[in-house]
Structure 1
Amino acid sequence: MPDRLPTHIGPFALGTFGDGSRVFPGLVVGPRVRDLSDLAPSVRAVVEDWEALFPRLADLAQETADAWHALADLRVLAPIEPGQVLQSGANYRKHVVDLVAAEKESVHGATPEEARADAERMMDERIRGGVPYVFLGSPRAICGPYDDVLLPALGEQHDWELELALVIGRTGKHIPAEDAMSYVAAYTICNDLTTRDQLYRPDLKAIGTDWFTAKNADTFLPTGPFLVPAAFVGNPTEDADVRITLRHNGVVRQDESTKDMIFDIPRLIAYVSTTTTLRPGDLLLTGSPAGNGAHWGVFLKPGDVMEAEITGLGHQRNTVRSGQ
């Protein structure tokens, strides 16, 4: 366990835990965890029957029987094994404006004022008529919220990207944006690490980005600590003031509201469901705000510590190690 217990908004949350001899799904209520093995074999199974089991979870959260563990005595694992991992890119306005403006200055010779004004206009147009940019990640990259992150042998520019993630709770295809929020079961935290200098293949320039190598190394997706039901969070892009904050070796690098998203959660769900059928347990990452290592000119090295939190969802603390 970390030095401080993770906390969550609302009366309860879900997680996956180890007690030294086994792994089990748990209902988290403050500093206590109730073993849910008598209800379902995994958190994924709970989400797959979300509509029926959610009221039961609310009842169990009120119980005081001796099926409870102290959270401090357990190992906190990644809360769910997802079906699909869908990842949104370039979805925070300030982040994308910074990137576009920097390119216009360095490549096209624009003044800082001209570059930023052009970038702002581009974002306004993208919001009005554009579509999200989404790609697939590997569930094998997931690790726990307090596990070590192991740097792969390939590449040197290993970067952080803290993101709000949502878990799908209903099966759907061609989901209208106005109905999309009813498909969200819960929210969690993901740090979608990227090896920047492996993102583009010099031998295949015409093909473009190599997301597989750059983003899917083992431990490159710290997830959790919990799944916090959407009913307790609201709509993070409209109703709630949800902040995404990451510290690298104690220095704040990312600190942004989810309201800065270019495409909100309903539009993301509507977009991805035009291509793939969404099923309970699918994980959708909503993009990373400004403040990545590439922005600061600082990348991850062995011994570094990342501390991350999103309002109401808990926190992560990952130490970086060499995986070579």
Structure 2
Amino acid sequence: MHNTQQFACRIGNFSVAGCAPFPALMVGEHAIPVSALHRHAQALNLQLFGTHSIAALIEAWQFNQYTLIQLAKQIEQLGWTGPTLPPEAVVMHSPVSPRQVFCTIGNYRSQLTEAFHDKAPAGTPAAQTDAEAKAFIEQRLKGEPYICAKLPSALTGPMSTFSIAPHTTMADWEVELGVVISKPARHVSVRDAMEYVAGFTVVNDITFRDRVFRADPPGFGTDWLQAKDAPGCLPTGPYLIPAACVAYPGQLHLSLRLNGETMQSASTSDMLFSVCEQIAYLSSRVQLLAGDLICTGSPAGFGAHYGRFISPGDELEASISGFGSQHITCT
């Protein structure tokens, strides 16, 4: 069974009455602005830095992660009697403000196998298709992750409204584990990769299936700009879960529900390339920066498989065990 208990240390990103977003430590569904915790940190002989924004908080993550976890533990053990912000008083934003976003394509065995079955000619024996998918996966494992960039402007909060772009009729969901980078990373080894992770979050890498391949001219290949980068195509959150709280990122349960019906349900153990392998590969090709976001791939159960795409009025709920859920209304 997958864990459904929430992590004690959850960092949200909120605004009140139109102010700039600020990071907050969660107590149940209520928020304590991190900027209000300096005195409590000092009582533990600890410090907090960059508390005015989520980007600044992550920039100083080498100091802040331990302090936030200790504060969360203290609050869990002793309770909290100070003021908090209730959910109805705040607007919830993405818990990360990345300068760069990356998306790993075709990184779950279940999704690749499902795609082979969806494309197999009618009458093809299932065992034959399974064997073809297995051979493809084995070949992929000999190579490297397939990763594209996504614009930060595609991010939206975890309780937002998603307006379907007019240039698509095949907007599709993809629940994924989001990995947030804690410090600049270049030429990082697989062994050391977790030292560069600030934390994890839930992402839904919404993709326009009818815009993945260019038809002008034929054979031009994939066009991820028009397929993944419209505003709102990356609901993120609700929370940032510190990496030190997640003992086994390769054993998390992901799910996505459409109007209450489960469409995706899988474990991160089904990844072809692990979180650490993706970081190592990316850092060998580009400069990773503090706060960058890596969307690590999505399991089987795309709308393309069901022949059912996102429509106005739909409600999307993406979640990861212990991380909370995001709720997106589509128009």
Whole-Å separation in 1 of the counterparts to 2:118 and 2:323: 33
Residue 8 of structure 1 deviates from its aligned partner by 7.0
Partner of 1:114: 128
Partner of 1:183: 196
Q: Mapping of 1:292-311 within 5 angstroms?
A: 292-311=302-321
Which AA in structure 2 matches 1:187?
Answer: F
1:46 aligns with 2:60: no
Whole-Å separation in 2 of the counterparts to 1:54 and 1:67: 23
Question: 74, 85, 101: which one pairs with 1:85?
Answer: 101
Partner of 1:282: 292
Partner of 2:183: 170
Moved more, 26-35 or 176-185: 26-35
Which AA in structure 2 matches 1:18?
Answer: S
Deviations 1:52-76 (A, max 9, x none): 1223323443364635323453221
Question: 99, 111, 116: which one pairs with 1:100?
Answer: 116
Moved more, 171-180 or 48-57: 48-57
Question: 227, 233, 243: which one pairs with 1:230?
Answer: 243
Q: Could you tell me the TM-score, scaled by structure 2's length? A: 0.88
Partner of 1:146: 159
Q: Tell me, which stretches of 5 or more residues in structure 1 are unaligned?
A: 1-6
Deviations 1:222-273 (A, max 9, x none): 0001100111112321xx3x11111111211000111110111111111111
Whole-Å separation in 2 of the counterparts to 1:21 and 1:208: 42
Question: 33, 36, 51: which one pairs with 2:31?
Answer: 33
Whole-Å separation in 1 of the counterparts to 2:276 and 2:66: 25
Which AA in structure 2 matches 1:235?
Answer: Y
Moved more, 290-299 or 77-86: 77-86
1:66 aligns with 2:82: yes
What SS class does the counterpart of residue 167 from structure 1 fall into? strand
Whole-Å separation in 2 of the counterparts to 1:186 and 1:37: 20
Residue 126 of structure 1 deviates from its aligned partner by 2.1
1:15 aligns with 2:12: yes
Contact between 1:184 and 1:230, CA under 8 Å: does it hold in 2?
yes
Which AA in structure 1 matches 2:146?
Answer: Y
Q: Tell me, which stretches of 5 or more residues in structure 2 are unaligned?
A: 37-48
What SS class does the counterpart of residue 33 from structure 1 fall into? strand
Which AA in structure 1 matches 2:33?
Answer: D
Moved more, 140-149 or 9-18: 9-18
What SS class does the counterpart of residue 285 from structure 2 fall into? coil
Which AA in structure 2 matches 1:51?
Answer: Q
Moved more, 178-187 or 70-79: 70-79
What SS class does the counterpart of residue 116 from structure 1 fall into? helix
Contact between 2:179 and 2:293, CA under 8 Å: does it hold in 1?
yes
What SS class does the counterpart of residue 303 from structure 1 fall into? coil
Which AA in structure 2 matches 1:116?
Answer: D
Residue 204 of structure 1 deviates from its aligned partner by 2.6
Deviations 1:260-315 (A, max 9, x none): 10111111111111011112100001001000000000011111111121101110
What SS class does the counterpart of residue 56 from structure 1 fall into? helix
Residue 158 of structure 1 deviates from its aligned partner by 0.8
Q: Between the two proteins, what is the percent identity of the paired residues?
A: 37
With over 3 angstroms needed to count, the CA separation of the structure-2 counterparts of 1:277 and 1:283, relative to structure 1, is same
Whole-Å separation in 2 of the counterparts to 1:8 and 1:225: 15
What SS class does the counterpart of residue 95 from structure 1 fall into? helix
Which AA in structure 1 matches 2:155?
Answer: I
Q: Could you tell me the TM-score, scaled by structure 1's length? A: 0.90
Which AA in structure 2 matches 1:25?
Answer: P
Which AA in structure 2 matches 1:47?
Answer: I
Whole-Å separation in 2 of the counterparts to 1:12 and 1:215: 31
Which AA in structure 1 matches 2:92?
Answer: V
Contact between 2:7 and 2:323, CA under 8 Å: does it hold in 1?
no
Partner of 1:213: 226
Which AA in structure 1 matches 2:228?
Answer: K
Which AA in structure 2 matches 1:175?
Answer: V
Question: 231, 239, 253: which one pairs with 1:243?
Answer: 253
Moved more, 9-18 or 158-167: 9-18
Residue 11 of structure 1 deviates from its aligned partner by 2.3
